[in-house]
Structures are given as structure tokens and as C-alpha cells.
Structure 1
Amino acid sequence: MKLDERHLVQLAAVVQAGGVTEGAAALGISQPAISRTLSQLEKRLGEPLFVRGKRPLVPTQLGKALAEHGQIILSASRAASEVIDSFRRGTSGVVRVGGSPFFMDGLIARMIAGFQDRYPDISVEQSYGYLTELRALLQSGRIDVAVCPVDVLDEGSGLEFSEILPGRNVVACSSTHPLLIKRKPTSGDLLEYPWIAPPPGSPLLADLRSILHSLGVAEIKIRFSGGSLASVLNYMTASNALTVLPHSVVFAFRKEGQITALPINIPHPDRSLGLLRLSAAPRIPAVDAFAGHIAEAFADLGQLIKRHEQAIVWGA
């Protein structure tokens, strides 16, 4: 016998509340409507659902068994409603974020942890890539938002970009590097030490060439290349090697006291770090909440970085 699931839900509400009026109020329907449902259900079954003459209502053995099934449906329905409500509020869901490796590892990962302190029911799926790869992931719907440096977006790209931090690079080194003794290192000084090259495809690689050109340096000794941020930092702290890093990344590791920036003026890239999204993509509240959190975190961070630059990176 096939039963209407709504009838089982109404039966469960009455059994749980102990009365038809109370059950109707719990479901937000009228008392006459729920009374008709129970009467029709008893006629269809040919069995009573409640013990006659008992107040509050006492279910029969059959009524109790059916009410238990109705309670399962009712609980699932309420849970589904809560999921929908939290999704619409932006307090639950999944955020798929991609980003440039050094920024993701140096800055964004910590911000994701802070975001999930505020929104514990939102899970975050992270992936890595540079602009070309991230653009493809956005356009294919495999990520919701990218955090990456961008210079110029092609007209008609279908993407929207929100700046969160202007591009600022520094020559980074270990906090015990010999060049830190000098007040103003020269380009000649830079040639005396090996360098760490940024990974292939990274905008930092082009920035390194730009820096060398501005300093009149044709060639440097590349001792290590292609590493992750963790491997670059570990290598740098155990050697006298130099590298180019976003100032924000160096700033993020300032409290560890292992790396710093040389006080040397270098050209800054004509690009900004920001949030990249597909213009025509349907807005997902959880993604909007994530983007807002990252933008807010960088608004606070930007002022601290600016003061740090003025104090540490002389002449920048």
C-alpha cells in the first residue's frame, strides 16, 4: 500500500505534540485540515491511529509505527530547509578557490582559516595556478573565484577583477644575510651572491628580469629554481641566496624572523593582486562571503604592509 508522505508527516507532528491542534500549529497548517488527513488515513488503512477517548492523544501500535516513519521524513525536511536557509544566508556551502602558489601559501591559507572560524559550515577547496590556468578554470566552472595578480584583462574576457593589494616586490634574503650590514647595497653587491629563480610561469620570473635590467645586471647566478614557497624559504634561510618576492609574502613571515627584504629600490610590477570571478556566473552566497572576507582582511593588511615598507624597505 502506497501512502502519501505528507500524511505520515502530519501524523508524526500530532503524535509528537500530543494533540491535533498542537500538531497543526507545529506544521503551520489548520486544525481542520490535519483532522481530515488523519480521518482519511484511518479509512484508507481500516485501522485506528489513536486510542479512543485518551487525552492527550495516545497512538495505537500501528499509529506509533507510522508516526516514526513520518518523523524521519519530517526531520529530513526540516534539515533540508535549514540547508537552504543557511545556503541563502551564505553560512554554508562550498567555495572552490584557485590562486597563485606563493600568495596562497604565504597569505591566503591563513585567511581561509580565519574565514572558517566565522563560517564553520563552509568548506573550501583550494587549487593552484597562474593567470592563464586560473582563467581556464573559471571559464570551465571548476573554481568559483581566483586570487591572483593581474595587469590587464582582455576586453570581452567575461571576467571581473577586484583589486585587493597593489603589486609591490622586494629583494628577499635571510635575516642574517651579509648585505644587511650595508645601508645601501648596490647592483654589484647583488652579483656576489647566488639567486633563487621563481617557478616557471610565475609573474615573479618576469619581475626578476625587469629588476636585473633596472639594475644594469645582465646575468646572475641561479642556484635554485622551481621550488614551492616553503622550499624557497627553507633554502633561503639556510644560505646567502637572494630572490624576488611580493612584499606582502615577506611581511607575512616577519614574525618568524628568518627572512627580510634588502633596503634596495627596485621597479614594482604594473599589476595588482585581486579577486577574479566570472561575470556571468550565478552568485553563490558562500562565495560572496568568502570574497568579502578576503577583501576585508587585505584592507587591514594593506595599511600594515605600507608602514612596514616605509620602515624596512628604504627608498622603495
Structure 2
Amino acid sequence: MKFDERHLVQLAAAVQAGGVTEGAALLGLTQPAVSRTIAMLEKRLGEPLFFRSRRPLQPTPLGRALADHGQAMLTASRKASAIVEGFRQGSTGVVRVGGTPFFMDALISGMVASFQNASPDVRVEQSYGYLRELRAAINADRIDLAICPIDVLDEGSGMRFQEVLPGRNVVACRSTHPLLLKRKLKASELLDYPWIAPPSGSPLLADLRSLILSLGATEIKIRYSGGSLTSAINYMKASDALTILPHSVVFAYRNEKAITALPVNIPHPERALGLLRRVDQGRAPAIDAFAAHVRKSFDDLKHLIKRHEQAVVWSA
């Protein structure tokens, strides 16, 4: 005998609610409609589904068995509805985000955590890369969103970029570095110390080379390279080595009071940190919600970062 799943769901609702009227209300149906369904089932089965003289309404063993199957369908339907509603609201789903390592480690990872505190059913998958790799990953549908520094996008790239923070690089060092004792620091004095090279492929590495050239040098004393942000900072804390970092990254470690920025302005290209996505990306509420959270987080930080910058960076 074949059953209409909707009829079993109505039976389950009546059993769950303890009455036909209450069960109908649970499903948003009318009481006569559910009564007709139960009467039709009993006629087809030739067996009663409820004990007529008992209140609240109690199912017969057959009624209970069929209601159990209907309850499973009702539960699945509710879960499906919740999934759809969660998708529409951006509170469920998966966000695949890639970004440049130093920014991801210093700033974005904390924003991911605060986003998931409010949306715990959204899973975030993070990966690392620089602009070329990130753009290729977006085009290959390996990630949905990139967070990276960009100077200019090629026309017709099929990408859209939303700036979240203006770019500014600084020379970073440990908070007890000898150069901080200088009354008037000269940029040329940076050449007296060893350097930590940013990762290969990082725009910071090109910025470091530009800085050295601007100081009239053709060589740089690289003492450490290839490390993560954490390893670079730990190395810096235990040595007099210098490195190039985005000011926002130095700001992120301000409370540890272990590293700081030297009070010297350095040349660097116009570049901004922002969100990179495909122009033709389909509707993805969870990704939109995450992107909005990142933008708001940076909006909240901008004035603090600017204040910190004005406190520690000036022309030398």
C-alpha cells in the first residue's frame, strides 16, 4: 500500500499535538482538512488510528507506528526549512576565504572568530596566497573571497575590489631596539642593522628592495627569511633585526608591547587592503555576511589604527 507522505505528516502532527485541531494549527492547516485526511487513511486501512473515547487523543498501535514515520518526515521537513532560512539569512553555509599570510594571521583570524561567535553554523575554510594565486583560486572556484593588498586591478579582470584599509608600510623592530634611542633617526642608519626578509612572493619583499635602493644601497644584510609572521616576530624580539610590515600588523600586536615601528617614513607604492571577489558571483548570503563583518570590523579599527600611526610614525 502506497501512502502520501503529506498524510503521514498530518497524522504525526495530530499525535504530537494531542488533537486534530492542535495538529492542524501546528502545520498551518484547517481542522476539517486534517480530519478528512485521518478519516480517509482509516477507510483505506480498514483500521482505526485513534481510540475514539480517550482524551487527549491517543493513537492506536497502528496509528502510533504510522505517526512515527510521519514524524521523521516532519522533522526532516523542518530541518530543510531551517537550512533554507539559514541560507537566506547568511547564518549557515561555508565561506572559503584566502588571503596574504601576515594580514590573515594578525587581523583576519580574529575577525573570523568574532563572526562565528554570532554565526556558529557557518564554517570558514581559510587558505593563504598572494594576489596572483588568490585570483587564480577565485577563478577556479577554490575560494569564494580573497583578502589582500592591491594597487590596481586590470580592466576586464572580472573581479571587484572593495577597500577596507589604506596601505601603509613601516620598519618594524623590537620595542627595545637601539635605534629607538636616537633623538633624530636618519633613514640611512637602517642599513647598519640586519633584516628579516618577508616571504617570497610577498609585495612586502618588493617594498623592502625599493626601500634599500632609495637609501642608496645595492645590497641588504638578510639574516632570516622564509618564516611565518609569528616566527618573524619572535626572531625580531630576540635580535636587532628589522623588517618591513604593514602598519596595521604592528598595530595588531600593540598590546604585547614586544614590537613597534621606527619613527621613519619609508617609500612604498599606493596599495590598499581589501576584499576581492568575482563580479558574476552567484548569490551567497553567508559570504556576503562574512564580507560585511570584515568591512565593519575594519571600519571600527580605522580610527584606532590612525591614532596609533600618528603616535609612532613621523618623518626622519
TM-score (normalised: structure 1): 0.96
Consecutive unaligned residues in structure 1, runs of 5 or more: none
Q: Identity over the aligned pairs, expressed in percent?
A: 69
**Matches for 1:2-13 after TM superposition, within 5 Å:** 2-13=2-13
Deviation at 1:44, TM superposition (A): 2.4
Separation (CA, whole Å) in 1 of partners of 2:58 and 2:13: 13
Separation (CA, whole Å) in 2 of partners of 1:205 and 1:289: 33
Separation (CA, whole Å) in 1 of partners of 2:294 and 2:46: 62
Partner of 2:211: 211
Deviation at 1:267, TM superposition (A): 1.1
**3-state DSSP of counterpart to 1:227:** coil
Structure 1 residue identity aligned to 2:35: S
Partner of 1:30: 30
Runs ≥4 residues deviating over 3 A: none
Partner of 1:252: 252
Separation (CA, whole Å) in 1 of partners of 2:312 and 2:188: 21
CA contact (8 A) 1:193 1:241 kept: yes
Deviation at 1:167, TM superposition (A): 0.9
CA contact (8 A) 1:183 1:263 kept: no
**3-state DSSP of counterpart to 2:245:** strand
Separation (CA, whole Å) in 1 of partners of 2:55 and 2:91: 42
Partner of 2:141: 141
**3-state DSSP of counterpart to 2:76:** helix
Partner of 1:173: 173
Higher mean C-alpha displacement, 153-162 vs 21-30 = 21-30
| Matched length | 316
Separation (CA, whole Å) in 1 of partners of 2:63 and 2:275: 57
Partner of 1:70: 70
Map Cα deviations across residues 227-286 of structure 1 (whole Å, 9 max, x no partner).
110111111111111100000000100110110111111013211000011110112111
Partner of 1:304: 304
Q: 1:252–1:111: structure 2 CA closer, same or farther, 3 Å change rule? A: same
Separation (CA, whole Å) in 2 of partners of 1:286 and 1:23: 34
**3-state DSSP of counterpart to 1:289:** helix
Deviation at 1:187, TM superposition (A): 3.6
Deviation at 1:226, TM superposition (A): 1.3
CA contact (8 A) 1:24 1:30 kept: yes
Partner of 1:45: 45
**3-state DSSP of counterpart to 1:185:** coil
CA RMSD, 1 decimal: 1.4
Structure 1 residue identity aligned to 2:124: V
Deviation at 1:173, TM superposition (A): 0.6
Partner of 2:129: 129
CA contact (8 A) 1:197 1:225 kept: yes
**Matches for 1:286-301 after TM superposition, within 5 Å:** 286-301=286-301
Structure 1 residue identity aligned to 2:59: P
Separation (CA, whole Å) in 1 of partners of 2:16 and 2:228: 58
Higher mean C-alpha displacement, 194-203 vs 64-73 = 64-73
Structure 2 residue identity aligned to 1:42: E
Structure 1 residue identity aligned to 2:256: E
**3-state DSSP of counterpart to 1:29:** coil
Higher mean C-alpha displacement, 108-117 vs 237-246 = 108-117
Separation (CA, whole Å) in 2 of partners of 1:187 and 1:313: 13
Deviation at 1:72, TM superposition (A): 1.6
Structure 1 residue identity aligned to 2:186: T
Separation (CA, whole Å) in 2 of partners of 1:92 and 1:256: 35
Partner of 1:14: 14
Map Cα deviations across residues 72-113 of structure 1 (whole Å, 9 max, x no partner).
211121122112112211122211111000000011111111
CA contact (8 A) 1:9 1:73 kept: yes
